[in-house]
Amino acid sequence: MTFMISEYIFKNEVDGHLSHQEYLNSPGDAFCKFCCESADTIEFCKQYFPSKNNSNQPARESLPKIQNLLNAMIALLMGHFETYQKYLFAGCFERSILFEEFDASIFFKDIGFKKDVNIKSNHLLAYRGDSLSVGILLADNLTDWHNPVSVNSYFNAFGLKVQVFTNHEIELLRNLWQIRHSIVHTAATITKADAQKKQCKQLNDYAGKNIVFKASTMFELKKNLLTLVNGVNKRLEDAFLEKISPDASDQDKNEFKQFFQCGTSVDLR
């Protein structure tokens, strides 16, 4: 019997599953929500694994299962982070219509289109008959979302006087993207070649090693990413508000602030 993946996928939305509409409305808020859900998922599952003599310490046979969950969740979390970045950029592009000045030729050159904007044909075909944000179409055609330096350049193209990701955040994200790559592409093993990458110095000593995380990893990662996303959104909000035309209405400004809001639906502890 042939396995048909389509027979095992729900066609309807699963209750509690984050939709792209939530990322469209407020990408920071949506990502913070998923970040907390990720940490809660690990903690919830750990409670049901066998433990040592009814203690809080997992039994030996539980450890590899917890590792599998951690690896899967971190890979999924980085997928959501990429979605957050894209929708944040797309929303900024849509709202650039409110800028007092916006040089389109410089913008498109700075994001990598040397002459004309090139949109892949499959993207145009996919959204026929759909009401799609032009910003999403543009974001989908930028290819370097796993490189925080490139992402910085995408946002800098708006003419902002701000570094979206700080140097410390760039280092963190480079290592997280490498971890995600190793989980997805090399069976959760850091290859010797990947361990030697200059931009991932923290991983230099892990050549040929399996990725094995401490049980507290997801909780600590949640705290760091919530802080990172809140900082990014605040820096962007301040920079964009400086560029808005004085003729913009209070409604436009309030909508702008709502787009950049972060963590309103979650506990940011």
Give the pLDDT of residue 44.
87
Q: Is the pTM of this model over 0.85?
A: yes
Q: Are 199 and 174 in contact (CB under 8 A)?
A: yes
Nearest to 163 by CA among 147, 151, 175: 151
pLDDT in tens, the chain (269 residues): 799 988 888 777 667 788 899 999 999 999 999 999 999 998 888 887 777 776 677 777 778 888 999 999 999 999 999 999 999 999 999 999 999 999 988 999 899 876 566 777 776 677 666 667 789 989 998 999 999 999 999 999 999 889 999 999 999 999 999 999 999 999 999 999 999 998 999 999 999 999 999 888 999 999 999 999 999 999 999 999 899 998 888 898 888 889 999 875 555 54
Residues 6+ apart with CB under 8 A from 107: 96, 157, 158, 159
Handedness of CA 118, 122, 125, 126 (dihedral sign): negative
| Extents of the domains making up the chain | 26-260
Q: Are 92 and 155 in contact (CB under 8 A)?
A: yes
